C-alpha cells in the first residue's frame, strides 16, 4: 500500500513538472476576477480588473440597486459598455434563502450582467458559534438553496455553483472530517441541480491543500482518495474542478515553487483526477493570492505577473478569483484589495499593474 501511494505521488509530480515546462504562455485577462463576500461589492470588483482601454464608453443611464444589507434602493447610474467579461466568487448563505432575499440577489445578477461579471456562487451553511464550526446541510436546505438560485435570472447561460467549502476541515463540516458524508451531499446536490436546471455547472468544495492528517483535518489527497474508494463514480457528479491554490508555506511562498501546496496545487489535483477517472477536467481557482507583508509587498506585482504568464495561463484554467476584495478590518486584512477606509491596498496596485503589464 505504501509503495502504491509513493508511485501515485511520483506520477502526479512527474506529470505536473512535464506540463509546467516551457516558456511564457499567452494569458487571457478575462479569466481574472476576485472573491467577494457581499452582493454590494460588484462595482469595486469590476474596477479592480478593468483597464481604461476595456471600457468602450457610456451609452445609456440605468437604475441599479445600491446600498447595504439594511438599505437597498434603485438609483440612476451611467451604464458603461465593458469589452471583457470577468469573474466573481461569492457565498450564498442559508440566511439569504430564509430571509427571502430574492430581490436583492436578482439586483446582484442584473448588476453582474451590466458589468459583465460571471458569478461563481458558493453554497454555505449556518455557522454554530457555540461549537465553532459550520453545520452540515440537510437535503431540505440543499434543495432550498438550489431552488432559490434556479428562480433567478442569471447574467450568463451557465450557472456556476460550488457545493460548500474546504470540507477536509472539521470546522467546515459539522465538527468532523467525513469524506463519505460529504460525498453523499455532493452527489445529491449535483443530481438536484441538474434535474432542476440543466444549465447549472457544479463545482465541488475546494480542498485546503495544506491541511495535514489529524483529528480536525485530513490531507487533501487522502480525503479525495477516500471519496473515490467509497464510490469510484463520485467525481462524475462534478462538471468543473474547484481549487484553492495558495503560495505556501504561510501564504507568502514564491510563485516559482512547485508542489501541491504551491500556486500550482490545482495541477496536482487535475492530474490526480486524470489518473483516477481518465477524464481531463477544467478548473476554476476560486481562492488564491498572497498575504501581504512588509517583506513581500514590493514583490507582489512580479508575483502576480509571473502567475499570469506561467501558471494561470494553463489551458485548463477557466477562472481565477484571488481572495479577497474587502477583508479589512479582520483576519483577512493582509489579503484584502481594499483597507478599512475603502482605499486600495498594495494588493490592489500589484494585481492591477500586473494586468496592465500582461494586457499591454
CB 339 within 8 A of CB 328: yes
Tell me the C-alpha distance between 260 and 269, whole Å: 8
With respect to residue 55, please indicate whether it lies within any of the assigned structural domains.
no
Pinpoint the alpha helices (H) of the chain.
2-20, 42-49, 94-98, 102-115, 139-150, 179-196, 220-230, 265-277, 300-310, 346-359
Structurally, how many domains does the chain consist of? 1
Tell me the C-alpha distance between 313 and 316, whole Å: 8
For the chain, list residues with pLDDT below 70.
1-25, 52-80
pLDDT recorded at residue 22: 47
Task: Give the CATH number, domain containing residue 216.
Answer: 3.20.20.80
With respect to residue 66, please indicate whether it lies within any of the assigned structural domains.
no
Tell me the C-alpha distance between 272 and 279, whole Å: 10
With respect to residue 71, please indicate whether it lies within any of the assigned structural domains.
no
Nearest Cα to Cα of residue 87 among 52, 13, 36: 36
Residues with Cβ within 8 Å of residue 337, at least 6 apart in sequence: 34, 48, 322, 324, 325, 326, 344, 345, 347, 348, 351
**Dihedral angle computed from the Cα positions of residues 309, 311, 314 and 319, in that order, rounded to the nearest 10 degrees:** -90
Nearest Cα to Cα of residue 220 among 194, 240, 251, 245: 245
Tell me the C-alpha distance between 86 and 112, whole Å: 10
Residues with Cβ within 8 Å of residue 289, at least 6 apart in sequence: 246, 247, 251, 322, 323, 324, 335, 347
Tell me the C-alpha distance between 190 and 68, whole Å: 32
Pinpoint the alpha helices (H) of 30-75.
42-49
Q: What is the DSSP string of 156-197?
A: SSSEEEEE-S-TTBGGGTTTS--HHHHHHHHHHHHHHHHHH-
Q: Which domain holds residue 274?
A: 2-48+84-359
> What is the DSSP-derived secondary structure letter of residue 87?
E
The pTM for the full model equals 0.90
With respect to residue 67, please indicate whether it lies within any of the assigned structural domains.
no
With respect to residue 64, please indicate whether it lies within any of the assigned structural domains.
no
Tell me the C-alpha distance between 29 and 53, whole Å: 13
pLDDT recorded at residue 26: 76
Instruction: Give me the residues paired with residue 161 across strands.
Output: 121, 202
Instruction: Give me the residues paired with residue 320 across strands.
Output: 32, 285
Tell me the C-alpha distance between 181 and 330, whole Å: 32
With respect to residue 37, please indicate whether it lies within any of the assigned structural domains.
yes
With respect to residue 57, please indicate whether it lies within any of the assigned structural domains.
no
Instruction: Give me the residues paired with residue 200 across strands.
Output: 159
> Is residue 216 exposed (0-12), middle (13-18) or buried (19+ Cβ within 10 Å)?
middle
With respect to residue 78, please indicate whether it lies within any of the assigned structural domains.
no
Amino acid at each position: 500500500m505504501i509503495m502504491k501511494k509513493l508511485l501515485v505521488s511520483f506520477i502526479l509530480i512527474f506529470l505536473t513538472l512535464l506540463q509546467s515546462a516551457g516558456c511564457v504562455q499567452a494569458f487571457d485577462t478575462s479569466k481574472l476576477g476576485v472573491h467577494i463576500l457581499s452582493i454590494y461589492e460588484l462595482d469595486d470588483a469590476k474596477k479592480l480588473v478593468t483597464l481604461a482601454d476595456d471600457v468602450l464608453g457610456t451609452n445609456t443611464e440605468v437604475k441599479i440597486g445600491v446600498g447595504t444589507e439594511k438599505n437597498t434602493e434603485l438609483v440612476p447610474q451611467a451604464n458603461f459598455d465593458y469589452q471583457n467579461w470577468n469573474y466573481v466568487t461569492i457565498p450564498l448563505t442559508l440566511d439569504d434563502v430564509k430571509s427571502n432575499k430574492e430581490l436583492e440577489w436578482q439586483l446582484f445578477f442584473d448588476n453582474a450582467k451590466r458589468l459583465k461579471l460571471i458569478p461563481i456562487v458558493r453554497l454555505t451553511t449556518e455557522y454554530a458559534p457555540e461549537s465553532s464550526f459550520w453545520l452540515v446541510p440537510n437535503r431540505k436546505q440543499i434543495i432550498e438553496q438550489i431552488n432559490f438560485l434556479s428562480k433567478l435570472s442569471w447574467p450568463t447561460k451557465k450557472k456556476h455553483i460550488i457545493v460548500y467549502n474546504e470540507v477536509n476541515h472539521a470546522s467546515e463540516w459539522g465538527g468532523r472530517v467525513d469524506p463519505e458524508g460529504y460525498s453523499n451531499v455532493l452527489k445529491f446536490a449535483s443530481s438536484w441541480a441538474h434535474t432542476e436546471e440543466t444549465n447549472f455547472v457544479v463545482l465541488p468544495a475546494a480542498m485546503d491543500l495544506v491541511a495535514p492528517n489529524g483529528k480536525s483535518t485530513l490531507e487533501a489527497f487522502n480525503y479525495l482518495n477516500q471519496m473515490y474508494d467509497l464510490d469510484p463514480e463520485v467525481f462524475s457528479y462534478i462538471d468543473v474542478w474547484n481549487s484553492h491554490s495558495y503560495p505556501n508555506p504561510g501564504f507568502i511562498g514564491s510563485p516559482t515553487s512547485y508542489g501541491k501546496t504551491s500556486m500550482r496545487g490545482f495541477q496536482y489535483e487535475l492530474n490526480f483526477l486524470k489518473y483516477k477517472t481518465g477524464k481531463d477536467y477544467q478548473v476554476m481557482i476560486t481562492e488564491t493570492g498572497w498575504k501581504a507583508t512588509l517583506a513581500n509587498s514590493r514583490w507582489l506585482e512580479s508575483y502576480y505577473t509571473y502567475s499570469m504568464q506561467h501558471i494561470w495561463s494553463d489551458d485548463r484554467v477557466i477562472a481565477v478569483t484571488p481572495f479577497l476584495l474587502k477583508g479589512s478590518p479582520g483576519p483577512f486584512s493582509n489579503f484584502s484589495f481594499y483597507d478599512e477606509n475603502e482605499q486600495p491596498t498594495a494588493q490592489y496596485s500589484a494585481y492591477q499593474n500586473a494586468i496592465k503589464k500582461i494586457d499591454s
